[in-house]
Amino acid sequence: MNFSLKSWPVYIIGVGLLILFIANISLGSIQIPFHKVFYALLGQGDTQDTHYSIIWQLRIPKAVTCIVAGAALSIGGLLMQTLFRNPLAGPDVLGLSSGASLMVAFVILIGTSAASYLPTVNPWSLALAASFGSGAIFLLVIAVAHRVRDNTSLLIIGLMIAAASGSLVSVLQYLSKAQDLQAFVIWTLGSVGGTNWSEILILTLLLIIGGAISITSVKALNAWLLGDNYAQSLGVDIKKSRLKIVLATSLLTGGVTAFCGPIAFVGLAVPHLIRLLVPTTNHKILLPMVMMGGAALLLLCDILAQVPGSSNVLPLNAITSIIGAPVVIWVVMRSKGVKM
């Protein structure tokens, strides 16, 4: 089936994304009349109004973070699933998020023991440290994946690497001060609410870089689906393209993890949900679709985490896992063996 970017699923996701964006801004623990949201979005309205500043200083940054982080994580998931030719690969499953967490733990718990909470840490160093952490784990997993060829072993190894870096994190936690610890634990629950505009800017830049690397690798990504030997016989430089995919995934996962915490399941689940909507294997279509789908899913998860109509806020990871875990079960059940 040949899908183009002009077919109906694209419009559905596009319109859905817009609706979810407006809904995300409209809903929250403080009720704001819809016409005020509308005017605020257009930049009109009373700038002194508390509602106006809630929208512009809290809700819009949060919604934009959802869009950027969701898109970044989903591209990361798609790239990993293609590279490993494994439908259960994803940044959190194979330990990339843990690697990033470990580096963030270093920066928060040791590097800045003087600073008491997250935003005082230089956002660039946090993002780069986290990207470095996920990149290192990625290379480790690739080295191991070369020796084991079956999906199950790879996933078990990913889990073990995640467990090992998790234990290092807990050692760091044990050694650190109580107030640092609290900031770190809250960070691990995943949040899109704590980001300021300069962090959003960094995240957006990372998304643009990672996205550009992915889009220019469309040919290699498609060819990877046939396996290394065929990809090579079709003129794909295996080493170079693998390195590009690792770089893009690490930047995307690392950046998001640094500012929003290790958000679970989005990277893994979105590519599958998108393939349901557009049954294609062409990354030229999958990449933009997955970006939009990831943005939409994270907006939705954030709306649910706010528990509309109440003043409670749930941890974001609780919601993404409730949506993501069934997707994984469904993928395994559907394909008996595990296929992509």
Answer yes or no: are the C-beta atoms of 121 and 103 closer than 8 Å.
Answer: no
Q: SS3 for 198?
A: helix
Angle formed at CA 235 by CA 89 and CA 287, multiple of 5 degrees: 40
Q: Considering the complex, what minimum distance in angstroms separates the CB of residue 277 from other proteins? A: 12
Burial 107-120 (b: 16+ CB within 10 A, else e): bbbebbeebebbee
Nearer to other proteins, 2 or 312 (CB): 2
How far is it, in rounded angstroms, from Cα 75 to Cα 271? 8
Stretch that binds other proteins, among 24-32, 162-170, 273-281, 313-321 (CB under 8 A): 273-281
Kindly write out the interface string for residues 282-301 of this chain, putting x where it contacts other proteins by CB under 8 A and - elsewhere: x-x-----------------
Nearer to other proteins, 34 or 230 (CB): 230
**DSSP, residue by residue, 296-336:** HHHHHHHHHHT-TTSS----HHHHHHHHHHHHHHHHHHHTS
Cβ within 8 Å of residue 222, ≥6 positions away: 281, 282, 283, 284
> Can residue 226 be called a binding residue for other proteins (CB under 8 A)?
yes
Number of residues that bind other proteins (CB under 8 A): 30
Stretch that binds other proteins, among 25-33, 71-79, 203-211, 231-239 (CB under 8 A): 231-239
Answer yes or no: are the C-beta atoms of 331 and 272 closer than 8 Å.
Answer: yes
Nearer to other proteins, 60 or 287 (CB): 287
Q: Considering the complex, what minimum distance in angstroms separates the CB of residue 6 from other proteins? A: 15
Nearer to other proteins, 135 or 271 (CB): 271
Stretch that binds other proteins, among 19-27, 153-161, 199-207, 215-223 (CB under 8 A): 215-223
Q: Which of 73, 223, 256, 270 binds other proteins (CB under 8 A)?
A: 223
> Can residue 227 be called a binding residue for other proteins (CB under 8 A)?
yes
HEC profile of 122-162:
CHHHHHHHHHHHHHHHHHHHHHHHCCCCCHHHHHHHHHHHH
Task: For residue 276, count other CB atoms closer than 10 A to its CB.
Answer: 10
How far is it, in rounded angstroms, from Cα 142 to Cα 139? 5
> Can residue 311 be called a binding residue for other proteins (CB under 8 A)?
no
Q: Considering the complex, what minimum distance in angstroms separates the CB of residue 226 from other proteins? A: 5
Stretch that binds other proteins, among 8-16, 67-75, 230-238, 314-322 (CB under 8 A): 230-238
Residues numbered 48-107 forming contacts with other proteins, rule: CB under 8 A: 85, 87
> Can residue 333 be called a binding residue for other proteins (CB under 8 A)?
no
Angle formed at CA 143 by CA 137 and CA 144, multiple of 5 degrees: 90
Stretch that binds other proteins, among 104-112, 213-221, 255-263, 304-312 (CB under 8 A): 213-221
> Can residue 230 be called a binding residue for other proteins (CB under 8 A)?
yes
Task: For residue 33, count other CB atoms closer than 10 A to its CB.
Answer: 10
Q: Which residues bind other proteins (CB under 8 A)?
A: 1-2, 85, 87, 216-219, 222-223, 225-230, 232-236, 275, 279-282, 284, 335, 339-340
